[in-house]
Structures are given as C-alpha cells and as structure tokens.
Amino acid sequence: MRIITYNVNGIRAAMNKGLVDWLKAANPDVLCLQEIKATPDQVDVSQFEALGYNLYWYPAQKKGYSGVAIFSKQKPKHVEYGCGIEHYDFEGRIIRADYGDCSVLCAYHPSGSSGDDRQAFKMKWLADFQEYINNLKQTIPNLILVGDYNICHKPIDIHNPKSNANTSGFLPEEREWFEQFIQSGFTDSFRHFNTEPHQYTWWSYRAGSRGKNLGWRIDYNLVANHLQKHLTRAVILPDAMHSDHCPVLLEVDFK
C-alpha cells in the first residue's frame, strides 16, 4: 500500500499547478489531503475518478477553509467522517478510511499562528485528539495517522530552532505533546528510515524560503508501533510544487 499525505493549500489552486498529472505519475493507492478549501461540486472530480480513485470528502462548513479528503483506489470497508466533536468537525479536520489490514486516518491539525485564541484552540485539540486516538486504538489497533500536525517534533525538523523557540509550531508545550503522543505507541515512519537533517515538508512563501530550503517538517505518517515490521519505505517528495507544503510518501507491505 502506497500512502501519500499532502496539504494542498486549496485543491483548486493545486489542480491549476498540475496536481492531477503529478498524481497520475505518483500513483499512490491512498491519497490523504488536507486544507482542500473546497466542496466536491466546486471541483472537476472526474479528473481524479479517471485515475481510478474513489473520492471521500469532508470539507469545513466555512467556505474556502480547512477540510480533508481521502482518494482511494480500493474502496474502504468503512469511511468515518469527523471525530464526533462538533467544533472540530465544523472545521473538517478528520476523516478515516478502514481497510482489511489497517485504518488510515487523515487529520489537519489546527495552526496557532494567528493568535492566542487559536493557540489555545490548538492545545485543547491536541489533548482531545490524544484521547480520541487512545479510545480508537482499543477497537482499531492497526492505525496509520497521517496529515499536517502543524508541529515540528525536534530541532532537526526545523531550519532555525533557536529563533523559532517561541513560535507556534515549535513551542515547548507542542513538542512535549508530540513526544508523549509518539511514546503512546506510534512510530514516525520518515525518521524510521531517515535521520538526516534539512528534511522539510513546509516552507514559508516569504523571502524565497523554499529555494533556500528554510523549512519545517510538520507533515507526518505515524504508524502504530506494531506495524513497524510492515514498513518498506518513507520519503518526502519536495519536487512536487503545488502548495507551500510537499507530499510525504509511506509504503507498507502487509504480505
């Protein structure tokens, strides 16, 4: 199973930059999208269906904001929309597809960069997300949790950790949350294979950050620890240029 997570920062804008042609070449079995900023009726979905994908959308109630989707070659046995907490589901932040061997949960974690209110919302979300996953793994242990977490886990995951020490996305309390979440039973699949620095998934549009590779690694494919033996490959795909993020690929073999 080839799984790609990708914050497209507006699926319509990404399609205008060649997203469909890229998807045809990348050919994942499961594509998990965040920040789609659109409803299916606003998009030419036939372009994705022509590539063999079944499309599952969970847009935000607010137009042009947030939203997640899963495009899957195989029809899942079940798709779960949202997490059952109204103020999070209003923003379209979680969708889950259940397959025979595992469940893939796509999440768009809030950013706290716009101010204190949203940072408080983010911290509450993180606590609630932990509880939600703790409960979920009691019935669905084979979890793959992908998406934009809006947190750099360690100094290696951000281009300038010292100057960003008090910046949302790299705050001590956010990093502490991420560490304990990992310790609760998950593997950062990219770091399982790659311990090199300067590996990022998001770059600011300011000051030519992407060209200089002044980035942050905030997009992850986390897998339940007991699935480690099934991991075959995990890579960042920085050459895909449809967004301020780039895709992250995970390959899992359940044979």
Catalytically annotated residues: 148
| Of 193, 163, 160, 157, nearest in space to 175 by CA | 157
- In terms of DSSP H, where are the helices of 150-250? 172-183, 189-193
52 within 8 A of 26, measured Cβ to Cβ: no
74 within 8 A of 103, measured Cβ to Cβ: no
Task: Look up residue 16 and give its amino acid.
Answer: N
Tell me if residue 123 falls in helix, strand or coil: helix
Is the backbone of residue 24 left (phi > 0), alpha (psi -120 to 50) or beta?
alpha
35 within 8 A of 59, measured Cβ to Cβ: no
249 within 8 A of 1, measured Cβ to Cβ: no
